[in-house]
Amino acid sequence: MMIASMAFFAIEDLFLKFLGPVMPPHQILFLVGYGGALAFALWALTIRTPLFNAQTWDRLVLIRILCDFFGAAFFILAIVSIPLSSLAAIIQAIPLFVTLGAVLFLNERVGIRRWAAILIGFGGVLLIVRPGAADFQIGMVYAVISVAMLALRDMLMRVIKTTLHSASFGFYGFFAMGTAGVLIWPFSDHMIQPNAVEWVYIFVAIITAVLGYFAIIISTRIAEASTVAPYRYSRLIFSTLLAMAFLGERPDLLTWVGSAIVIASGLYTFWRERVRAKGEFPKVTCLRNC
């Protein structure tokens, strides 16, 4: 289910990329965001669960919604301005950002090995972004900001104590995305009248985004999060293949190397966290009396 979720999100990214050259970013945010929010509202209505209760206004829940707001806004700005394969590679750094955030804000203890993995992983991100290079694009900065916001959102889920249903969080996230489109509307180009093909793109983006969210919920409900989390990296495979097949993109060597470093660092971090959680550190045999 986690792999299916990543496939759905990769397809969503592809259709958002199709919309980028013809539709202003705020309109994409508006249509896809409120379309997804409507889907989750219908889900909540079907299962007879309220979208709002007193816990909705909890400070951490509201901060999480703000993270969705800024994360979605910068993600769309990035997807319309940089290659999809590069964006997909940068997204893989989210687990590293989550681990770093847990250290800085949740006082989680991290050993020298995980610190090394985090630093090496960020080095991989720099290989992809390449600040100061002749081909540097501001969209790379948008992508990194989006990743930081989404990582903060995921980190908050570790500490939020709530009985809110997943449909509520899905609704909040997509509603925040749509609202971001409304708020940046005055600073953007005028909306266009989508043609039939563009309406299909919008519909597919909404459906795949919602299906991806559903699949991730099922995945984390039937298995431990630490078990399925490494399969998130399959999104890079799907996105890169789609970008090469439909957009004609050909990632350069530094992007491939940076992606490999980020994934290897993330996988090591996941493995190390599981080892620490289970207390299964490798045993060291003393060669003499200790």
> What is 231-272 written as a DSSP string?
GGGHHHHHHHHHHHHHS-----HHHHHHHHHHHHHHHHHHHH
pLDDT at 277: 66
Q: Which residues, at least 6 apart from 246, have a Cβ–Cβ distance to it below 8 Å?
A: 14
pTM of the complete model: 0.86
Backbone angles phi and psi of 105, in degrees to 5: -115, -20
> In angstroms, rounded to a whole number, what is the distance separating the alpha carbons of residues 109 and 96?
14
Name the residue range of residue 268's domain: 2-276
pLDDT reported for residue 5: 93
Dist. CA 146–CA 246, nearest whole Å: 24
CA 226 – CA 53 distance, rounded (Å): 30
Contacts of 85 (CB under 8 A, 6+ apart): 239, 240, 243, 244, 249, 251, 255
Q: How many domains is the chain built from?
A: 1
pLDDT at 123: 93
Domain assignment present for residue 196? The answer is yes
pLDDT of residue 288: 42
Q: Is 134 among the domain residues?
A: yes
Q: Give the residue among 28, 83, 34 at the shortest CA–CA distance from 198.
A: 28
Looking at residue 285, its pLDDT comes to: 43
Rounded to whole angstroms, how far apart are CA atoms 212 and 14?
Answer: 14
Say how far apart CA 230 and CA 271 lie, in whole Å: 9
> How confident is the model at residue 284, as a pLDDT?
42
Q: Is residue 180 part of a domain?
A: yes
Residue 44 covered by a domain: yes
Structural domain includes residue 286: no
Do the domain assignments include residue 282? no
Judge contact between 13 and 32, C-beta under 8 A. Answer: no
Q: Which pLDDT belongs to residue 134?
A: 67
Whether residue 289 is contained in a domain is answered as: no
| In-domain check, residue 290 | no
Residues of the chain predicted below pLDDT 50: 281-290
